[in-house]
């Protein structure tokens, strides 16, 4: 299985520097891709597929959320697949875009008593799974997606983001 080619853009907000974000993203998304391939039988193309990560602020993500989802409010993460993909389908050369909002992410991490990087890791995995066709609109879909997130984060030494255990 090939790795993921990650492109990072820091647009707004007091995010860590790009090198730190790329290092964390590469580790987290690499683990997610390996887990999907090994445990879920997810095929990957021979050439590493590209993924765009945009790190921004609440104001920017609010605008995007209003335009694309009809929800005029900030959110923590948005995912936009380059092509419609169902879990188990071979992705094309471009997976899509994941957009994260600093203030919402920071506020949620503080409210949950979790380290910023742990919550960021969770949202990266969450957004990544959306690009592979996973969703959480129906109860059975949510259980499947949350289970995947929990197992992937566990492989990274992080606790269940949906449980009561504190994140390590």
pLDDT tens-digit readout, 73-113: 899 999 999 988 887 889 989 999 999 999 999 999 999 89
pLDDT-derived band at 124 (thresholds 50, 70, 90) equals very high
pLDDT in tens, 61-75: 999 999 998 889 899
CATH architecture assignment, domain 5-155 = 3-Layer(aba) Sandwich (3.40)
The pTM of the whole model exceeds 0.85:
yes
**DSSP annotation of 166:** P
Q: How far apart are CA 62 and CA 132, in angstroms?
A: 24
The answer to whether 145 and 131 are in contact (CB under 8 A) is no
Write down the mean pLDDT value for the chain: 89
Over pLDDT 90: what percentage of the chain? 68
Per-domain residue ranges of the chain: 5-155
Identify any residues that bridge with 54 across adjacent strands, giving them in sequence order. 9, 99
What integer pLDDT is reported at residue 137 of this predicted model? 65
Question: What would the mean pLDDT of 33-44 be, rounded to a whole number?
Answer: 92
């Amino acid at each position: 299985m090939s790795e993921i080619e990650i492109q990072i853009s820091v647009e707004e907000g007091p995010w860590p520097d790009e090198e730190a974000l790329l290092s964390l993203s590469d580790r987290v998304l690499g683990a997610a891709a390996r887990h999907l391939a090994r445990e879920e039988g997810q095929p990957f193309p021979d050439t590493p597929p590209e993924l765009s990560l945009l790190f921004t602020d609440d104001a920017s993500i609010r605008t995007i959320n209003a335009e694309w989802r009809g929800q005029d409010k900030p959110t923590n993460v948005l995912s936009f697949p380059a092509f419609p993909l169902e879990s188990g389908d071979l992705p094309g050369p471009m997976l899509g875009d994941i957009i994260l909002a600093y203030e919402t992410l920071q506020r949620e991490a503080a409210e949950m008593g979790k380290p910023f990087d742990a919550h960021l890791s969770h949202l990266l995995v969450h957004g990544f799974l959306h690009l592979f066709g996973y969703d959480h609109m129906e109860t059975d879909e949510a259980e499947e997606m949350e289970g995947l997130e929990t197992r992937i984060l566990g492989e990274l030494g992080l606790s269940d983001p949906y449980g009561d255990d504190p994140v390590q």
